[in-house]
Structure 1
Amino acid sequence: MSPAAIVNAAPSPSNGTKIVPVSSVKPIITPSSILPPAPSNSVPAWVQPDLTRLLRVEHLPGSFAARSVSLVDLPAGAIFARISGPTPASCAYTSVQASRDLHIELNSDLVFINHSCRPTLLFDMTRWEVRVNPELKGGLKAGDELTFFYPSTEWDMVQPFDCRCREASCRGTISGAKDMELEVLSNYWLNPHIEGLLQEKHAANGKGNGVHNGVKNSSSTAS
């Protein structure tokens, strides 16, 4: 340990009692469970990392045909990457909704992670982390396409599209969580801002606000 990492050290007393030095070195990585809260309309100051060893972008023929592929093996529920370098933005085809008041541009190759109705990843916008889907059997494998369920972050998308994931559970046209039935959304992990908006929608429709009980929320993946 560097001498600069020790403070308040003093010579041992004459009675032989051992003094434990106090270290000024702080953990390099702050556990996500104790990260400070941030205003819902701003990008947290601590957000930051590097994707070149985690994914490969494949540019395929045609419009909107790029996709991203994993370069790593990770168990279900593991952190894939922190969201790095985002900037506040208007709601757009390339943006991600980070809270009810904030949309961001990712400004990284994470933007090439496509939608799937059976996703390999989830975007946890409370922790600003991309995680392996906790329900992904066998975890994430190198060579797997990286996907997430867009309505887990997006309430009202500016550019709806017909999903081509070809999964048996395909939901067809994807336009945001506001246009999906709660029964469908209950099969997916959703960010808290989507849960809150669903509660408001169902309360306004006279159906109560018990959305939390029917949706796989962020608490199920807390570390």
Structure 2
Amino acid sequence: MPSADPIPASPALRDKAPSPTHPDRLRVNRSPKAFGSGAYSLVDLPAGALFATITGTTPGHKAYTSVQTGRDTHIELNSDLVYCNHSCAPSLVFDMARMEVRVVDEKPLKAGDALTFFYPSTEWEMDQPFQCTCGANACRGWISGAKTMSAEELDGYWLNGHIVQLRNERK
């Protein structure tokens, strides 16, 4: 399944071909096309398994390259994980409280699978919303963060604690 418009790599990762940060776990397909690069699994893992720990981050601000970690906090991944694109049928979960990337609970990960996560699971309000083209049966269409999604649209997705808290405050 093709992934939706990904968060592109930060300029440091995009403009150079740095040494891979997870050479045993993923390969990056770089594309000169804007938002065309992506990450693909090199390993088979069972549903729910740990894919990678998130290390080497730096504090950031809301930007298309950052990941939200709390109500008002963001990080830059500074790793090949930045190439994990969005999908409405994701293969991974980015757990920002544990600083882990795990395989979704619903299905195992196979070598060659696109590495994707559901951006609203970490992002309350995205810096650069986009029209999703992931092709999933339950594609959510316009992706702008969890803030603009109904409880029904978010049902069934694993969500970070800060997203759950912000959603509950909205009620």
Q: Which residue of 2 aligns with 1:27?
A: none
Q: Aligned residue pairs: how many?
A: 151
Aligned CA RMSD, in angstroms, stands at 0.8
SS at match of 1:80: strand
Q: Give the fraction of aligned pairs with identical amino acids, expressed as a percent.
A: 61
Q: Which residue of 2 aligns with 1:63?
A: 34
Q: Which residue of 1 aligns with 2:59?
A: 88
From 70, 76, 82, the equivalent of 2:47 is: 76
Question: Residues of 2 paired with 1:177 and 1:101: CA distance?
Answer: 14
From 149, 155, 159, the equivalent of 1:190 is: 159
TM-score, scaled relative to structure 1: 0.67
Relative contact order (alpha carbons < 8 A, sep ≥ 6): 1 or 2 greater? 2
State whether structure 2 residue 95 is matched by structure 1 residue 124.
yes
Question: Residues of 1 paired with 2:22 and 2:68: CA distance?
Answer: 21
Runs of 4+ residues deviating >3 angstroms: none
Q: Please list the CA deviations of residues 157-196 of structure 1 after superposition, one character each: whole Å capped at 9, or x if unmatched.
A: 0100011101111000100000001001012110000000
From 88, 97, 100, the equivalent of 2:71 is: 100
From 121, 127, 135, the equivalent of 1:152 is: 121
Question: Residues of 2 paired with 1:101 and 1:79: CA distance?
Answer: 26
Larger radius of gyration: 1
Q: Which residue of 1 aligns with 2:14?
A: none
Question: Residues of 1 paired with 2:72 and 2:136: CA distance?
Answer: 32
TM-score, scaled relative to structure 2: 0.86
SS at match of 1:98: strand
SS at match of 2:51: strand
Question: Residues of 2 paired with 1:90 and 1:97: CA distance?
Answer: 8
Following TM superposition, by how much is the alpha carbon of 1:61 offset from its aligned partner in structure 2, in angstroms? 4.5
